[in-house]
Amino acid sequence: MEKRIAPTVSDPTMQRVITDLYDIINSIIDMVDNKELSKANQSEPGKINVVKSGSEYTLEVKAKDGWYQLSSNLVRKTGKKEN
């Protein structure tokens, strides 16, 4: 995701508020862009995530020394197809 640039306004107080908001937005963008670091800081070992990218699925597993990813052909065994 691309970082945002704060627009310029003539009022210095409003400019400071806008700049602060854009700094917060950009820090959120950084966290989203760096999801592996974000997950490592928020999860305990043993956590398992299922990640969907398009029609592909991967499993991610948290270990003591970081995240590991298992890519494979996953086949649905039961349940209705969800969009």
Quick check: 67 and 82 in contact, CB under 8 A? no
Helix axes 35-42, 12-33, angle to 10 degrees: 80
Q: Is there a domain that residue 4 lies in?
A: yes
Contact residues for 39 (Cβ-Cβ < 8 A; gap 6+): 49, 60, 62, 67
Q: Is there a domain that residue 81 lies in?
A: no
Dihedral pair phi/psi, residue 59, rounded to 5°: -105, 135
Q: Is there a domain that residue 79 lies in?
A: no
Looking at the predicted structure, is the pLDDT value of residue 14 above 90? yes
Which pLDDT score is estimated for 16? 93
What's the mean pLDDT in 58-83?
Answer: 73
**pTM score, two decimals?**
0.42
Q: Give the tokens for residue 51.
A: 């990640």
Q: Are residues 29 and 48 in the same domain?
A: no
Domain span at residue 61 reads: 44-74
Q: Grade residue 12 by pLDDT with cuts at 50, 70 and 90.
A: very high
Return d(Cα 54, Cα 57) in angstroms, integer. Answer: 8
